[in-house]
Amino acid sequence: MTSVARDPRLIADRPGVAGTLEGFWRRVSQGEIGSLPVVVGLLLIAIVFQSLNPNFLTPRNLTNLVLQIAAMGTISVGVVLVLLLGEIDLSIGAVSGLCAAVMTVLNVKTGLPGALAVGAGLLLGAGIGGLQGVWVTRFRVPSFVVTLAGLLGWQGVLLYVLGDTGTVNLTDPAITNLAGIFLGRGLGWLIGTVAIAVFLASLARRHRRRVAAGLAVGTRGGLVGRIVVVVGGILVAIAILDADRGVPLAVLILLGLVVFFDYVTKRTRFGRHVFAVGGNAEAARRAGIGVDRVRVAVFTLSATLAACGGILAASRLLAVNQSSGSGDVLLNAIAAAVIGGTSLFGGRGTIWSALLGALVIGSISNGMDLLALASSVKFMITGGVLLAAVTIDAVSRRGRQAAGRA
């Protein structure tokens, strides 16, 4: 009788508010905190900066904020994939700048159409990622070393590609519209309605599959709360963006990549293999998984997404120069993935953590810019937030291990 009462599935299935709270505290005690710290952090950031500067939550500033994080969030999606393997890619900043520079030079100096130039930049990123992945798997060189060499080497190639030109300006609408076009109000609400319909259909499908498999489905209160948060968030976001210039195309590109790779990691065999390799590579190999193929594929995707982020950044800035992809691009992309909840130890995390982490870093940077704080303060605060996120990850990992031993 006592063993049944302690069955976690029965605790999670208890109806009403009490069951919802019990399930929540049980997951917290076991380290299963998910995105809760990030969501709470975003709320605190909004409250603090809005109290210090009333312009923070205005539609225009929030629209600028999501435009600013589009490139970083895109690069961070690739970082999440690499971290899920328990690896690291330090070359993403240099790759993003190099691919954007190649795209720009092909378009401006050789007259290649914008769409083809963008495709060439993405192909270059895929080739770089594939090369680095093969180097890691074939020669058994740690990814830290290979991608650190890439950080230096691809930065040198960027300087070579640009030569003495310095800054190259972009004018081709096929490229500049990626970050410069905004959807009309009607189209924005249509996309939001479709997104809500897809979310509800996915939730219903997941509920039916778990019931058919005899798995816990959670409480009704938890389900309703999740629907309210997601649907409400979509509607509020569209309303805010429409109050300014509309929904930016760059944001839709970021969200599309997040949704696509979230599906890939959660619903496909490749995604299951990524988690398996990140959780225990030797066990995955013994289970018949092509560990090396998975690693090469993930490094290829990481560099391709870095190229995509670099192209979005060039589109927003309307130019590429010798500092493209340098500065804090690499650190912010990695920090976004970790702050969003992806574990540095491999095997745990979601693609949505890239978006959430990018929102945290972007909000902090945007808020401090509004307050005209020095760059030194911005770096210190961002570093503190990153340290807190890693600490939460380590503590959560200990909680999961303790729950597993129990």
CA 180 to chain centre: 21
Region 53-78: what's the mean pLDDT?
A: 96
* 234: nearest Cα among 274, 190, 277, 196: 196
Residue 98 and residue 159: Cα distance in Å, rounded?
Answer: 8
Which of 80-84, 193-197, 216-220 shows the lowest mean pLDDT across its residues? 216-220
% of residues, the chain, pLDDT over 70:
89
DSSP letter (8 states) at residue 166? -
What is the H or E stretch that residue 285 is in?
helix 281-286
Where in the sequence is the domain holding 308, given as residue range(s)? 35-181+248-405
In a domain, 68, yes or no: yes
Structure tokens at 381: 């605060």
In a domain, 198, yes or no: no
| Per-chain mean pLDDT for the chain | 88
In a domain, 17, yes or no: no
Q: What is the pTM of this model?
A: 0.89
Which of 155-169, 292-306, 367-381, 386-400 shows the lowest mean pLDDT across its residues? 386-400
Residue 25: predicted pLDDT:
47
Does the pLDDT value for residue 6 go beyond 50?
A: no
Answer with the residue of higher pLDDT: 5 or 365.
365
**Using one digit for the tens of pLDDT, what is the confidence trace for 201-213?**
989 998 888 888 8
The top-scoring range by mean pLDDT among 34-43, 99-108, 341-350 is 99-108
Region 47-69: what's the mean pLDDT?
A: 95
In a domain, 225, yes or no: no
Domain count, the chain: 1
Region 159-187: what's the mean pLDDT?
A: 91
Residue 64 and residue 60: Cα distance in Å, rounded?
Answer: 6
In a domain, 197, yes or no: no
In a domain, 332, yes or no: yes
Give bridge partners of residue 168 from the DSSP assignment. Answer: 320
In a domain, 188, yes or no: no
In a domain, 14, yes or no: no
Residue 19 and residue 224: Cα distance in Å, rounded?
Answer: 14
**Using one digit for the tens of pLDDT, what is the confidence trace for 238-282?**
999 999 989 999 999 999 999 999 999 999 999 999 999 999 999
Assess contact for 153 and 90: CB atoms under 8 A: no
Residue 303 and residue 97: Cα distance in Å, rounded?
Answer: 11
Return the CA Rg of the chain: 22
Kindly report the CATH number assigned to the domain that includes residue 277.
Answer: 1.10.3470
pLDDT range class, residue 5, cuts 50, 70, 90: very low
**Using one digit for the tens of pLDDT, what is the confidence trace for 7-23?**
443 444 455 445 544 55
**Using one digit for the tens of pLDDT, what is the confidence trace for 280-301?**
999 999 999 999 999 999 999 9
